[in-house]
Structure 1
Amino acid sequence: MSLTGAAKPSSYGSIVKDDLSIIDDNEAVPDYDDFSDGGSAAWLTVFGAFLALFCSFGQMNAFGTFQSWYTTHQLHDLHPSTIAWIGSVQLWVFFFSGGFIGRVFDMYGPRMIMALGTAIYVSSMMLTSVARDYSHYLAAQGILSGLGVGMLFYPPLASISTHFRKYRATALGIAMAGSGIGGTVYPILLQYLFVNVGFAWGVRVSAIICFVMCTTATFTVTSGVTPQAPAKENMSWLDLRALKDPKFALLVVGSCFMSLGLFTPFCYLVSYASDHGVPSGTAFYVLAVLNAASVLGRVAPAHFADAFGRFTLLVPCAFLAGLSTVLLWPAADSLFALVAYAAFYGVFSGAFNALIVPCIAQISDIREIGMRIGLLYSIISFPSLVGNPAAGALLHVGHGSYTGLILLSGTSVMVGSGFMLLSKLKINSDIFARV
């Protein structure tokens, strides 16, 4: 069919570009209107994505457990802000690799990337188990692990987007719940293993679990469209022309502010709990509660977003995540208050993680979905890199006071929600429209 002669789709769930001027009049474009929105291949892809995110992004969400352990064991002579660079580098490599991984996905599909990603990720954990100094942890758990997580994160999510349209947010939310459940299980599992079998064997047991689950995911995730090489004029690894689309550009800017503060609670909440009188053997449960609540945030808003609009739910959820940090975290001076904040923040931060990909897909050509998802994550890798160390620096400047850290985290997330609102208004100027 010729997209140049087609009317703009009425559904907010369309995967066809709103700005059809970017498509060459003479270019033959396949018809992507017929999505299965179900079937064995589609749901096996969701299942595989769930497994991959459980042990990759889920374990990365549990870095607070590593941060707390390193502070009192292997790296006890280093300041927490220095140790936080391990998690920040991991996050940066994971995000920055998205642009390149997304382009390879569009050309070759998910399987090759995920197989290599499994090998890299498992190897990174084995190397972490034998690391001896800070540089070893930075290389193995920071750089190598971040790359492996990226290769196990972007291909399955992009694949789901090629199988679903009407129920895309729901399917992606189920898959993203894997990272929330992983983030719930891993703090408890790792703490138990570190205490009972030692750090080295604890990490190795985790590596074995990840090998089994990621291998299964590699064989179950498939793409719903035939991969194809881009035209010669579009061969760049990071196609920045996508930023000429104001809807996408505003979404990227909002995500940059979000990523500056979004991950700070994941990194510092355990230390905060310990510093406020919560026993160290109990403090890590706060992180588990945060990640458990994010499971609800990944599934419920994503399900309702298919009915009420993806941007319609993304904006308030992002704002409430920031607001809860500014209002509830400073008042959390007991275990009960900390758990309440962790649960509230987990729900709304989880909603952002679940809804951002369907929002990208909604305003993108399906043939470029891998590239656009990856491009956004590549750009937000830079604020993600400096977010946790900047929070740690504020903690140091404040002589142990968490006030500056909390304000940076909460306000940056709320500012990000404002730019996402502007992106929504670019799609439909009615602020109450279901977009």
Structure 2
Amino acid sequence: MDRLRYLVSLKPPKRLPMADMPGYAAEPSAYSTVSLGALLLHYLATDYFPGATPLDYALIGGLEFGAALLISPLTTILTRELGRNAVMGAGIIMFSGGFIAASFASKTWHLYLSQGLLIGLGIGAIFVPSIQVLPQWFLKRRSLAGGIASAGSGFGGLAFSLGTNAMIEQIGLAWALRITGIIGFVGNVIGALLVKDRNHIIKPPQLGFATHLLRRYDCLLLLSWGFTNLLGYMVILYSLSSYAVQVVGLTQAQAGVLTAVLNLGTGIGRPLIGFASDRFGRLEVATTLTLLNGILLFAIWVPADTYGVLIFYALLSGAMLGVYWMSVGPLCAEVAGLKEVPSLLSLQWLTAVLPTTFAEVIALYLRRPEMGRWTYLYPQVFAALAYLVASLFLFELLRLKRNGRLMSQMPELAHVR
């Protein structure tokens, strides 16, 4: 009887209050203001920081992701002790402050601290507490809800990838950074005020480092998928526009459009993927998309030598390459159970630190300029193989699920779609 009462308490309400919905959409869209790609292209094209190398910019981009994820255990614990609003409020200040500080940067190390470390810490303090919330409100349409919410990162990225270039041309880099910080502050504050969690009902343990989950085979498979998946993701995210300029011979403006189309694909594709995940299975769809990312990279990006083909690839891959970010929450709930979502997500973020920090650095060292047209062949093969290997971990997880061997502590939730 106690077990029945417990399960009833975890059941999401039949309706999510509509007043809260903008918060779930506003949060991911605010993250997209990290328009690092457009900024890095400008730094490289204008030699804005004399003495800075492509390796510096790759490390700054990686540090932004890595710092956000590295503090996830601390953020999870602080959310448990201080509450979500306090942690997110601190994150918003760091996030916006990082952009404003970057606008005054005159040396490369200034950029490491502001655009790399400070913005990264801000993202982590905003992202980690908020991504835990959405799975609490949905059961049958959990992936669709996540897809709609995360589509904000696509449409926001579309606006900022175009807007950042326009602002740099019209008002200069410094004010472009300041305006980006201000808009990010407003968007994040709105989202933080509107989002509500159900922690008082679910009472998740919110452990910073849940060692008991590391002893579970299914959780290890999910962590391995995240690690290898993100190796491919980071290479595509940061190398596609550089490939367009250096190999295909496109202009900086055309490369900016390419990034915008990539974000457009994200905005359109993620709700559709969420719908498909709820219809055909979250694990099944994530497995298929991870595999397709590797196949399409070989089939389209490697031979791509025209603007049109790159636009097509950007639109298609934009919808799929971020499968990790939109699937990881629902998959954690499916594999480990709803109560363990914050704890397993904390492990996921720690696992993601190395690939997000160093994947583009690896790709940089794999480039072979002396090969001309095939300068990016080795980074492309590296990214494709990363996705293909990642799909193998999900295929094994799928096998466990179909054999009824997932070790979820909430098995009654695993089969619900």
Deviation at 1:278, TM superposition (A): 1.1
Deviation at 1:108, TM superposition (A): 4.8
- Report whether the alignment pairs 1:125 with 2:102: no
Between the aligned partners of 1:128 and 1:265, the Cα distance in structure 2 is 25
- Report whether the alignment pairs 1:208 with 2:182: yes
| 3-state SS of paired residue (2:383) | helix
Deviation at 1:284, TM superposition (A): 0.9
- Report whether the alignment pairs 1:191 with 2:184: no
Q: 2:214 aligns with which of 235, 243, 251?
A: 243
Between the aligned partners of 1:75 and 1:265, the Cα distance in structure 2 is 25
TM-score normalised by length of structure 2 = 0.90
Tell which deviates more after alignment, 279-288 or 93-102.
93-102
**Do the aligned partners of residues 37 and 198 (structure 1) sit closer, same or farther apart at CA in structure 2, a change above 3 Å counting?**
farther
| 3-state SS of paired residue (1:363) | helix
Deviation at 1:222, TM superposition (A): 0.8
Q: What is the one-letter code of the residue matched to 2:168?
A: F
- Report whether the alignment pairs 1:64 with 2:37: yes
- Report whether the alignment pairs 1:291 with 2:263: yes
Query: What's 1:113 paired with?
Result: 87
Provide Cα deviations, 1:119-145, integer angstroms capped at 9, x if missing partner.
111111111111111111111111111
Query: What's 1:362 paired with?
Result: 334
- Report whether the alignment pairs 1:170 with 2:144: yes
The answer as to whether partners of 2:72 and 2:208 remain within 8 angstroms in 1 is: no
Query: What's 1:418 paired with?
Result: 392
Q: What is the one-letter code of the residue matched to 1:122?
A: S
Q: What is the one-letter code of the residue matched to 1:273?
A: A
The answer as to whether partners of 1:247 and 1:427 remain within 8 angstroms in 2 is: no
Between the aligned partners of 2:339 and 2:160, the Cα distance in structure 1 is 35
Query: What's 1:259 paired with?
Result: 230
The answer as to whether partners of 1:305 and 1:313 remain within 8 angstroms in 2 is: yes
Between the aligned partners of 1:207 and 1:330, the Cα distance in structure 2 is 36
| 3-state SS of paired residue (2:179) | helix
**Do the aligned partners of residues 220 and 398 (structure 1) sit closer, same or farther apart at CA in structure 2, a change above 3 Å counting?**
farther
**Do the aligned partners of residues 189 and 405 (structure 1) sit closer, same or farther apart at CA in structure 2, a change above 3 Å counting?**
same
Deviation at 1:76, TM superposition (A): 5.6
| 3-state SS of paired residue (2:249) | coil
Q: What is the one-letter code of the residue matched to 2:163?
A: L
Task: Give 1:395-434 correspondences, 5 Å limit.
Answer: 395=367, 401-429=375-403
Between the aligned partners of 1:169 and 1:282, the Cα distance in structure 2 is 33
Between the aligned partners of 1:130 and 1:227, the Cα distance in structure 2 is 46
Query: What's 2:114 paired with?
Result: 140
Between the aligned partners of 1:81 and 1:174, the Cα distance in structure 2 is 35
Query: What's 2:13 paired with?
Result: 36
Q: 2:76 aligns with which of 88, 94, 102?
A: 102
Query: What's 2:27 paired with?
Result: 52
The structure whose residues are more often helix, as a share, is 2
| 3-state SS of paired residue (1:332) | coil
Gaps of 5+ in 1: 7-27
Q: What is the one-letter code of the residue matched to 1:70?
A: Y
The answer as to whether partners of 2:282 and 2:330 remain within 8 angstroms in 1 is: yes
- Report whether the alignment pairs 1:330 with 2:307: no
Gaps of 5+ in 2: 405-413
Provide Cα deviations, 1:354-382, integer angstroms capped at 9, x if missing partner.
12211111222333322211211111211
* Structure 1 residue ranges (4+ consecutive) displaced by more than 4 angstroms after TM superposition: 28-31, 106-109, 227-231, 396-400
| 3-state SS of paired residue (1:369) | helix
Between the aligned partners of 1:263 and 1:32, the Cα distance in structure 2 is 39
Tell which deviates more after alignment, 359-368 or 253-262.
359-368
| 3-state SS of paired residue (1:130) | coil
**Pairwise CA RMSD:** 2.4
Deviation at 1:80, TM superposition (A): 1.7
**Do the aligned partners of residues 371 and 202 (structure 1) sit closer, same or farther apart at CA in structure 2, a change above 3 Å counting?**
same
**Do the aligned partners of residues 227 and 383 (structure 1) sit closer, same or farther apart at CA in structure 2, a change above 3 Å counting?**
farther
The answer as to whether partners of 2:33 and 2:180 remain within 8 angstroms in 1 is: no
Q: What is the one-letter code of the residue matched to 2:210?
A: D
